[in-house]
């Protein structure tokens, strides 16, 4: 429901008398019922009119866009199936479909109405006209059942551009058949008037796609086989470089740039309009969230939703509830503010430019991740902000669906609203991860807000690894040891996420085409290749420049499912939509295209589309594994497939090839001839991922996605497991692949692809392990995102704490909230750095407690841990360190009310360990070559200033409004001369880091080592600085 | 700069008591020595000099001369194959006594001069947290005044009754300005600067 807005309500009130409100739930937009069946629309922005062709009533209804009311109608010849307005709104051209078998029926004519005087001319055509459009030069394009014509709207003179048969249904047709189903053709002209895109034989599965270049007078066409079939809907981009045709995004290069994923067949529901100025496509495509037929039919109970998508890869930004389904042509006004679409009752009017005036809901985050550790077993809480993207006040409710152990407070409210989610870990089963969906709803919001995933990770002390929460559907992982990066495919957002392997921070995001499936590095390791299940492209990224470069185009109907780079060729296993099988293509990087191999050695190039490819680390071999048990081997030496076997009934899960002519698929090892040599038999369940390191490797497995995972290290396939480590949560596991064709089958985890083999469902292949040998770590795709494991967890004694000092300057005096360094032995089984806020209280399997409170951790290693003290502790404090090998003895220390310590972490050239004091004059560190001058402002960064007002929370970013000021005000002197302090408190956005802003008066003494002293409640610290007096 | 201004006025007041006056301007180069700096050298890059003077004849052979010079020369550190510089300049005001070897009627006159005054050294570059060769010394954006001893000689050549050319070489000797180019802890700079300044000029005889 729109918020009370005069602009919005006025037309709504006006519509109340003459239009129907199709739904009582909050909906966006309105419907104008025409009392017939709309077959096409044309917008006359110059005169504020929308022409609506009524196929059955033989009229052209004229709707005023100022009040969205039909004021008049033109009676025309029978069966107006398509209409078009010439530039400047001079002519209205109407194509009448007369292809009938019984009387009465129409004639094969085109009516040209000169709108200035309403004079009409009727032009007879030899064949039934199906669609009409105008180019920018005033020439009409007419598609008939046999050819494509140009037509002069004044004289009716036609010229045949090209001839090919377009299918169309003969009338009369069965009841409840929409005009689009009869005509099966549509055209759309680009805003610049230079390009006309079209489709013929729509809804047949083998469609003809046209692209007419008005400047060259040439037409190009391609046969596009798809399943489900494309309906007769076309919307061109402004410059004609792309067009949305049915659910596919076609590129002027003649390839499929993207397809809306997981489309379900529908006879009449589809519509789209491209808004190039805003990089947006609006549309409706039937899927599991949308109706596939009219109300009452299968899927008809779903709510029609307007999809708001990115124009390059169809990533869905939002779903908006519409009053009706789109059943025909959709178009936008030139400003992109009003969307008009043929709908079930007539025409739907969607004020997309005013979306911010409608109630919507949005969560501030996609995931909430809570993890217990040995130090924090109590109730955990995290906050979440619910907003209205338009900035309005919208009612909301949020529910965990009755999940025990989860409470949300408040569970309803008005945006913007902050809710706190509390999790009682004791209710959840130990040793694993449980995901709970928190559903958002509203009585007034018109959008479908995405549910928030609550992930509860509750490992027991024997489990290892640091879990990094990463929302979304993650389907592949690759290590880049040379650049110390992890590449992860996020399929639902069409992205490659680039993480730093040490800090696990996101350093870059690559946009991909639609539905990325799997990745591969080129042999020179300089480029990343990404295949897509709904794009004909393999996108390519320069890893040194962190930028996308020219993509590779696959043959028509081929969609890359898996890629492997060998020393001789880069192979692509593509889903071949033309025959429903898989085809192996080879990439030619010079020409930027891939071509199908004529054969796979002595074998037919016809494999399961759900198979996967993987290359050996040295690039000598490529293994092709299929869910039906087939294995094929390609060698770079022969530049051909040399072996094929099928010893097993089915294969799934892990897949890997070594440089030693050994292979792993699922739980089975294979030799150089692909003969099974033994089972890896992971004791915890199906394999999730395997990666070779030499002759051995790492194997990840789990019983279920909510159980602990298992990471095993093998010195060789023959010697078996040499070490076995329980993981904090399960790696992604193979999933049952849905049976469908066309654009389906990518909804599973891992590199899932789709097929069924007879009545037996196939399971997906998964790649989840990425080792970093030099760092001694392994990244594993897991339930919550990914988990960083140490490569080895040797048996070590319990931790021992030997000392605790300020992390800033090594001073033994510490205060609440201060960053401290704890020294000792066996403090953590791994070296790990944290960074995500709020900071975790468990890192690298270590956690620390001070007087019973867990400490936020920034860095852990066997000999040193950097942690933040709680703000709540003072006086005598007991510290203990907990690791999987045991608990340290208590370490006693004293926490002062304040203990200011300036960070000695500044770097200037080769000089390190400098006090972090900056001159405002040039924003640089104070050093002997950048000394303090009288009248300078300086900023001092330090820790240990104690409690703040308002109170800060340890591990959390400090607030920016209001600022958290130090409760005990400091006095700052330079050479004994007091400085004026304008602010002393936490740095907004930082954890436990304070700053003092101070002014240096004239009269300070000069020298190379003038003491800058900070006195806070009797606690002092001093750093020597160079001061110049002139 | 206030000290400098007062000095110039004082110079003009003194000169006003003479009987024959010469006014002139000079320009030339400034070539300072570098002082040792614990394995490196510290000093100034060669630069240019511009100045003015007022001279009073005090007899057939002696004259007294008030001079002002502006020196444009960057601060400089060099060591280990590296060189670092920092923008700088200096102002000098001094009074010299000149002895002319020829009689006053001679068209060409050679002379020797010696005197003293002050020199104001100024660092004018942009300070940075990191400066190359900072292990030897620190360039500083500040100013420092040092005493100056001037000695040298040259000749004048009369072009007309009132106009003469002048060419000379002087050595301006001053203590090293350690506030402007400060030795790093543990580093010792040489204590004396010699600034060899060859100039040519023109003078008007009144």
The pTM score is 0.73
Q: Do B140 and A908 touch (CB under 8 A)?
A: no
Distance, in angstroms, between A1011 CA and closest chain B CA? 16
Show residues of chain A in contact with B179, CB under 8 Å: 1028, 1030
Q: Give CA angle at A766 (A763, A769), nearest 5°.
A: 155
Amino acid A354: pLDDT: 96
Reported as a pLDDT band with limits 50, 70 and 90, residue A172 is: confident
* Whole-Å CA distances, A718 to A683, A690, A990: 17, 15, 51
Tens of pLDDT, residues A41-74: 999 999 999 999 999 899 999 999 999 999 999 9
- A770-785: string of b/e by CB count within 10 Å (b at 16+)? bbbeeeebbbbbbbbb
Question: Would you say residue A760 has pLDDT above 50?
Answer: no
Show residues of chain A in contact with B138, CB under 8 Å: 928-929, 931, 1026
* CA dist., res. A130 & res. A167, Å (int): 10
Show residues of chain B in contact with A930, CB under 8 Å: 127-129
Tens of pLDDT, residues A725-751: 889 899 999 998 854 333 333 333 333
Tens of pLDDT, residues A219-232: 999 999 888 999 99
Q: Do B142 and A927 touch (CB under 8 A)?
A: no
Q: Is-contact A140 A158, C-beta < 8 A?
A: no
Amino acid A425: pLDDT: 86
Question: What is the overall mean pLDDT for chain A?
Answer: 90
* Whole-Å CA distances, A172 to A51, A98, A320, A346, A394: 25, 10, 36, 21, 49
* CA dist., res. A854 & res. A877, Å (int): 13
Comparing A406-420, A430-444, A479-493, the range with the smallest average pLDDT is: A430-444
Show residues of chain B in contact with A909, CB under 8 Å: 129-132, 134
Name every residue whose Cβ is closer than 8 Å to that of residue A415 and which is 6 or more positions away in sequence. A361, A386, A387, A388, A392, A393, A394, A395, A396
Q: Nearest-CA neighbor of A665 among A614, A714, A725?
A: A614
Amino acid A318: pLDDT: 96
DSSP code of residue A503: T
* Chain A positions with Cβ closer than 8 Å to B: 906, 908-911, 914, 922, 924-931, 933, 1008, 1026, 1028, 1030
Question: Would you say residue A1 has pLDDT above 90?
Answer: no
Question: Would you say residue A13 has pLDDT above 60?
Answer: no
Q: Which of residues 162-201 of B touch A (CB under 8 A)?
A: 179, 182, 184-185
Three-state DSSP state, A23: coil
Amino acid B42: pLDDT: 94
Amino acid A683: pLDDT: 61
Amino acid A717: pLDDT: 87
Question: Which one of B131, B179, B185 has the shortest CB-CB distance to A929?
Answer: B131
Amino acid A837: pLDDT: 84
Helix (H) or strand (E) holding B9: helix B2-15
Tens of pLDDT, residues A649-701: 999 999 999 999 999 999 999 999 999 998 886 666 789 999 999 999 999 99
CB pairs under 8 A between A and B: 53
Strands (E), A557-598: 558-565, 570-576, 581-588, 593-596
Reported as a pLDDT band with limits 50, 70 and 90, residue B96 is: very high
Reported as a pLDDT band with limits 50, 70 and 90, residue B104 is: low
Show residues of chain B in contact with A1028, CB under 8 Å: 140-142, 179
**Once rounded to an integer, what is the mean pLDDT over residues A148-153?**
96
**Residue that is written with structure tokens 């070539």 in the block:** B31
* CA dist., res. A695 & res. A675, Å (int): 17
What is the percent of chain A with per-residue pLDDT over 70, rounded to a whole number?
A: 93
Question: Would you say residue A775 has pLDDT above 80?
Answer: yes
Question: Would you say residue A490 has pLDDT above 60?
Answer: yes
Q: Do A925 and B131 touch (CB under 8 A)?
A: no
**Once rounded to an integer, what is the mean pLDDT over residues A570-580?**
93
Distance, in angstroms, between A964 CA and closest chain B CA? 30
Amino acid B150: pLDDT: 95
DSSP code of residue A276: G
* CA dist., res. A109 & res. A619, Å (int): 63
**Once rounded to an integer, what is the mean pLDDT over residues A789-796?**
76
Amino acid B32: pLDDT: 86
* Whole-Å CA distances, A571 to A257, A585, A624, B44: 20, 6, 10, 66
Amino acid B8: pLDDT: 43
Judging by DSSP bridges, how do beta strands A367-371 and A452-458 pair with one another?
parallel
Q: Is-contact B170 B28, C-beta < 8 A?
A: no
Comparing A166-175, A466-475, A548-557, B167-176, the range with the smallest average pLDDT is: A166-175
Amino acid A758: pLDDT: 38
Which one is predicted more confidently, A82 or B3?
A: A82
Name every residue whose Cβ is closer than 8 Å to that of residue A14 and which is 6 or more positions away in sequence. A67, A68, A69
Distance, in angstroms, between A931 CA and closest chain B CA? 8
Q: Is-contact A898 A946, C-beta < 8 A?
A: yes
Question: Would you say residue A12 has pLDDT above 60?
Answer: no
Q: Is-contact B192 B172, C-beta < 8 A?
A: no
Q: Is-contact A915 A817, C-beta < 8 A?
A: no
Nearest CA in chain A to B86: A929
Question: Which one of A906, A914, A929 has the shortest CB-CB distance to B128?
Answer: A929
Question: Would you say residue A710 has pLDDT above 70?
Answer: yes
Interface test with A, best of B124, B126, B128, B129 (most A CBs within 10 A): B129
Reported as a pLDDT band with limits 50, 70 and 90, residue A103 is: low
Q: Nearest-CA neighbor of A919 among B171, B191, B129?
A: B129
* CA dist., res. A932 & res. B140, Å (int): 11
Question: Which one of A908, A1008, A1028 has the shortest CB-CB distance to B142?
Answer: A1028
Q: Nearest-CA neighbor of A46 among A250, A311, A333?
A: A333
Nearest CA in chain B to A925: B129
Question: Would you say residue A4 has pLDDT above 90?
Answer: no
Amino acid A296: pLDDT: 67
Tell how many helices (H) and how many strands (E) occur in chain A.
2, 90
Q: Could you tell me if residue A908 is left (phi over 0), alpha (psi between -120 and 50 degrees) or otherwise beta?
A: beta
Q: Is B191 exposed, middle or buried (0-12, 13-18, 19+ CB in 10 A)?
A: exposed
Q: Do A1008 and B185 touch (CB under 8 A)?
A: yes
Which one is predicted more confidently, A100 or A70?
A: A70
Nearest CA in chain A to B143: A1030
Tens of pLDDT, residues A351-365: 999 999 999 999 999
Tens of pLDDT, residues A20-29: 334 457 999 9
Q: Is-contact B85 B74, C-beta < 8 A?
A: yes
Amino acid A885: pLDDT: 80
What is the percent of chain A with per-residue pLDDT over 90, rounded to a whole number?
A: 76
Hey, where are the domains in chain B? 21-205
Which one is predicted more confidently, A621 or A293?
A: A621
Three-state DSSP state, A17: helix
Q: Do A930 and B179 touch (CB under 8 A)?
A: no
Question: Would you say residue B2 has pLDDT above 80?
Answer: no
Amino acid A145: pLDDT: 92
- The alpha carbons of chain B give a radius of gyration, in whole angstroms, of 19
Give CATH for domain B21-205: 2.40.160.20
Interface test with B, best of A919, A926, A927, A929 (most B CBs within 10 A): A929
Question: Would you say residue A298 has pLDDT above 70?
Answer: no
* CA dist., res. B33 & res. A946, Å (int): 55
* CA dist., res. A936 & res. A923, Å (int): 11
Q: Do B184 and A928 touch (CB under 8 A)?
A: yes
Tokens, residue A742 = 């066309």
Name every residue whose Cβ is closer than 8 Å to that of residue A853 and which is 6 or more positions away in sequence. A870, A872, A873
Show residues of chain B in contact with A1030, CB under 8 Å: 142-144, 179
Q: Is-contact A548 A498, C-beta < 8 A?
A: no
Amino acid A177: pLDDT: 84
Nearest 5°: phi and psi at B14? Answer: -65, -45
């Amino acid at each position: 429901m729109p918020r009370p807005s005069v602009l919005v309500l006025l037309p709504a009130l006006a519509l109340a008398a003459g239009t129907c409100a199709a739904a009582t739930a909050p909906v966006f937009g309105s419907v104008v019922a025409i009392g017939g069946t709309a077959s096409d629309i044309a917008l006359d922005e110059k005169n504020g009119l929308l022409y609506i062709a009524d196929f059955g009533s033989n009229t052209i209804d004229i709707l005023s866009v100022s009040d969205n009311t039909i004021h008049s109608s033109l009676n025309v010849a029978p069966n107006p199936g398509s209409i078009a307005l010439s530039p400047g709104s001079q002519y209205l051209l109407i194509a009448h479909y007369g292809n009938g078998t019984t009387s009465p029926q129409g004639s094969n004519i085109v009516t040209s109405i000169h709108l200035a005087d309403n004079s009409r001319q009727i032009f007879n055509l030899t064949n039934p006209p199906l669609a009409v459009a105008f180019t920018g030069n005033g020439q009409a394009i007419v598609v008939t059942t046999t050819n494509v014509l140009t037509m002069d709207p004044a004289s009716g003179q036609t010229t045949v551009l090209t001839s090919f048969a377009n299918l169309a249904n003969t009338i009369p047709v069965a009841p409840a058949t929409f005009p689009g189903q009869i005509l099966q053709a549509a055209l759309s002209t680009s805003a610049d008037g230079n390009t006309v895109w079209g489709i013929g034989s729509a809804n047949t599965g083998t469609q003809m796609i046209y692209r007419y270049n008005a400047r060259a007078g040439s037409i190009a066409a391609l046969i596009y086989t798809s399943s489900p079939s494309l309906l007769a809907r076309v919307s061109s981009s402004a410059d004609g470089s792309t067009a949305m045709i049915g659910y596919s995004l076609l590129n002027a290069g003649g390839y499929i740039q993207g397809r809306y994923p997981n489309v379900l067949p529908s006879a009449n529901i589809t519509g789209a309009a491209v808004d190039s100025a805003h990089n947006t496509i609006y549309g409706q495509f039937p899927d599991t969230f949308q109706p596939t037929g009219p109300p009452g039919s299968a899927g008809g109970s779903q709510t029609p939703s307007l999809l708001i998508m990115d124009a390059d890869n169809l990533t869905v930004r939002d779903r908006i509830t519409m009053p009706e389904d789109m059943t025909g042509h959709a178009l936008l006004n030139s400003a992109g503010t009003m969307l008009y679409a043929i709908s079930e009752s007539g025409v739907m009017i969607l004020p997309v430019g005013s979306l911010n005036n409608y109630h919507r809901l949005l969560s501030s985050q996609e995931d909430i991740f809570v993890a217990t550790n040995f130090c924090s077993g109590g109730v955990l809480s995290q906050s979440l902000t619910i907003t209205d993207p338009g900035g309005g006040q919208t009612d909301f409710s949020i529910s965990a669906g009755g999940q025990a152990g989860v409470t949300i407070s408040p569970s309803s409210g008005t945006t913007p609203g902050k809710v706190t989610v509390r999790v009682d870990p004791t209710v959840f089963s130990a040793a694993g991860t449980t995901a709970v969906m928190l559903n958002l709803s509203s009585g007034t919001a018109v959008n479908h807000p995405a549910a928030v995933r609550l992930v509860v990770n509750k490992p027991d002390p024997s489990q290892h690894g640091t879990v990094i929460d990463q929302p979304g559907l993650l389907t592949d992982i690759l290590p880049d040891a040379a650049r110390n990066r992890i590449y992860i495919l996020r399929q639902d957002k069409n992205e490659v996420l680039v993480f730093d392997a040490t800090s696990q921070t996101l350093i870059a995001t690559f946009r991909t085409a639609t539905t990325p499936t799997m990745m591969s590095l080129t042999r020179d390791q300089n480029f990343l290749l990404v295949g897509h299940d709904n794009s004909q492209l393999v996108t390519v990224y320069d890893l040194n420049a962190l930028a996308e470069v020219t993509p590779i185009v696959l043959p028509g109907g081929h969609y890359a499912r898996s890629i492997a780079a060998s020393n001789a060729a880069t192979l692509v296993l593509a889903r071949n939509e033309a025959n429903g099988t898989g085809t192996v293509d080879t990439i030619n990087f010079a020409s930027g295209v891939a071509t199908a191999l004529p054969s796979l050695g002595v074998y037919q190039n016809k494999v399961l589309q759900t198979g996967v490819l993987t290359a050996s680390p040295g690039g000598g071999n490529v293994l092709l594994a299929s869910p039906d048990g087939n294995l094929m081997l390609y060698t770079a030496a022969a530049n051909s497939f040399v072996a094929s076997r099928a010893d097993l009934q089915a294969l799934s899960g892990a897949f890997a090839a070594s440089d030693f002519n050994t292979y792993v698929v699922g739980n089975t090892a294979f030799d150089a001839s692909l003969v099974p040599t033994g089972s890896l038999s992971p004791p915890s369940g199906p394999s999730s991922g395997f990666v070779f390191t030499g002759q051995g490797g790492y194997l990840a497995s789990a019983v279920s996605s909510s159980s602990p995972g298992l990471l095993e290290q093998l010195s060789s396939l023959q010697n078996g497991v040499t070490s076995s480590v329980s993981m904090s949560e399960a790696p992604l596991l193979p999933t049952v692949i849905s049976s469908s064709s066309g654009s389906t089958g990518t909804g599973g985890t891992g590199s899932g692809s789709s097929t069924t083999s007879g009545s037996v469902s196939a399971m997906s292949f998964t790649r989840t392990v990425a080792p970093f040998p030099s760092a001694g770590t392994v990244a594993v795709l897991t339930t919550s995102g990914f988990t960083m494991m140490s490569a080895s967890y040797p048996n070590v004694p319990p931790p021992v704490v030997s000392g605790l000092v300020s992390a800033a300057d090594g001073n033994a005096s510490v205060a609440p909230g201060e960053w401290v360094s704890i020294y000792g032995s066996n403090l953590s089984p791994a070296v790990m750095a944290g960074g995500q806020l709020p900071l975790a209280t468990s890192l690298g399997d270590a956690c620390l407690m001070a007087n019973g409170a867990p400490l936020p951790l920034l860095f852990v290693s066997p000999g040193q841990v950097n942690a933040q003290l709680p703000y709540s502790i003072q006086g005598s404090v007991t510290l203990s360190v907990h690791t999987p090998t045991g608990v340290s003895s208590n370490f006693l220390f004293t926490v002062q009310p304040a203990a200011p310590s300036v960070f000695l972490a500044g770097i200037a050239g080769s000089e390190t360990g400098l006090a972090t004091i900056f001159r405002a004059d040039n924003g640089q560190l104070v050093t002997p070559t950048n000394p303090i001058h009288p009248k300078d402002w300086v900023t001092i960064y330090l820790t240990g200033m104690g409690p703040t007002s308002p109170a800060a929370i340890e591990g959390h970013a400090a607030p920016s409004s209001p600022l958290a000021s130090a409760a005990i005000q400091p006095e700052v002197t330079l050479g004994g001369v007091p400085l004026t302090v304008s602010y002393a408190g936490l740095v907004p956005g930082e954890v436990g880091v304070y700053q003092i802003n101070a002014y240096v008066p004239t009269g300070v003494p000069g020298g190379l080592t003038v003491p800058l002293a900070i006195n806070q409640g009797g606690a002092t610290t001093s750093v020597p600085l160079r001061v110049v007096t002139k | 700069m206030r000290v400098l201004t007062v000095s110039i006025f004082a110079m003009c007041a003194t000169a006003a008591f003479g009987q024959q006056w010469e006014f002139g301007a000079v320009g030339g180069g400034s070539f300072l020595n570098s002082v040792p700096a614990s394995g490196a050298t510290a000093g100034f890059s060669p630069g240019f000099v511009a100045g003015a003077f007022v001279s009073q004849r005090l007899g057939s052979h002696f004259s007294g001369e008030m001079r002002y010079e502006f020196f444009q020369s960057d601060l400089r550190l060099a060591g280990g194959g590296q060189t670092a510089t920092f923008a700088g300049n200096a102002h000098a005001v001094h009074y010299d006594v000149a002895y002319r070897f020829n009689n006053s009627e001679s068209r060409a006159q050679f002379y020797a001069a010696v005197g003293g005054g002050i020199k104001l050294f100024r660092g004018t570059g942009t300070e940075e947290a990191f400066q190359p060769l900072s292990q030897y010394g620190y360039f500083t954006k500040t100013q420092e005044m040092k005493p100056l001893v001037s000695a040298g000689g040259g000749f004048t050549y009369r072009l007309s009754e009132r106009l003469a050319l002048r060419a000379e070489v002087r050595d301006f000797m001053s203590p090293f300005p350690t506030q402007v180019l400060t030795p790093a802890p543990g580093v010792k700079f040489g204590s004396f600067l010699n600034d060899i300044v060859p100039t040519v000029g023109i003078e008007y005889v009144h």
